[in-house]
Amino acid sequence: MPTNLRVTRIGVLTGGGDCPGLNAVIRGVTKPAQDYGMSVLGIQDGFEGLVNGKAKELHNEDVSGILAIGGTILGSSNMGDPFHWSEEKEGKIEITDKSDAALKNYKAWDLDAIISIGGDGTMHISNKLSKMGINIIGVPKTIDNDLEATDVTFGHDSAVYVVSMALDRLHTTASSHHRVMVVEVMGRYAGWIALNGGISGRCRYNLTSRDTFFMG
């Protein structure tokens, strides 16, 4: 994004699967932006909304009280890649490039920039859109905390909390039946949920598997 650009109007969208903290990020974007005199457009259903022209103005009252609400108030989709757009025509699925429609709506909405919240796929699409001239800032979304040069990604703490609550409940069963239990959690290629969840749930971490606990 050019350093001399005066930003007065921004868009925000959430792409891919849902994740704890999405609404908190939307709120964190909208309220400060309006404090600085910017207007905020909420693009609905991820990149589908950018292609199809679905959006709504976001005001202070729209993002107040949403911190504890799961999901995303804007809706999301992991099927709306503008560069790989699927449409059914005469009973067949055709793949087309709708990136021009995304750029057209970006200009029609008079946006200076877009805040794109999502995972790998969303960031990949955002990078390609930026090369078309769309000023776009990516906010990486991952409960796995597998982002380089970032201490904690949003959603990770919530995931660890859920794991620790599950382990608390399993402790009594394991103790009552004198058993060792194996608990498998999410984590993809990183073991941070397993490690932090295991520590908070008072378990021993199995160093041979990045997302398995041993309870005893």
Catalytic residue IDs: 144
Bridge partners for 95 per DSSP: 86
Q: 173 CB contacts (<8 Å, ≥6 apart)?
A: 179, 181
Q: Which residue type is seen at 131?
A: K
Bridge partners for 9 per DSSP: 39
Instruction: Report which of 36, 39, 37 is spatially closest to residue 62, judged by C-alpha positions.
Output: 39
Q: 18 CB contacts (<8 Å, ≥6 apart)?
A: 70, 71, 72, 76
Say how many C-beta atoms besides its own lie within 10 A of residue 212's C-beta: 17
Contact 203, 191 (CB under 8 A): no
Q: 163 CB contacts (<8 Å, ≥6 apart)?
A: 183, 185, 193, 194, 197, 198, 200, 201
Please tell me the distance from the alpha carbon of residue 96 to that of residue 103, in angstroms, as a whole number.
Answer: 15
Please tell me the distance from the alpha carbon of residue 105 to that of residue 84, in angstroms, as a whole number.
Answer: 17
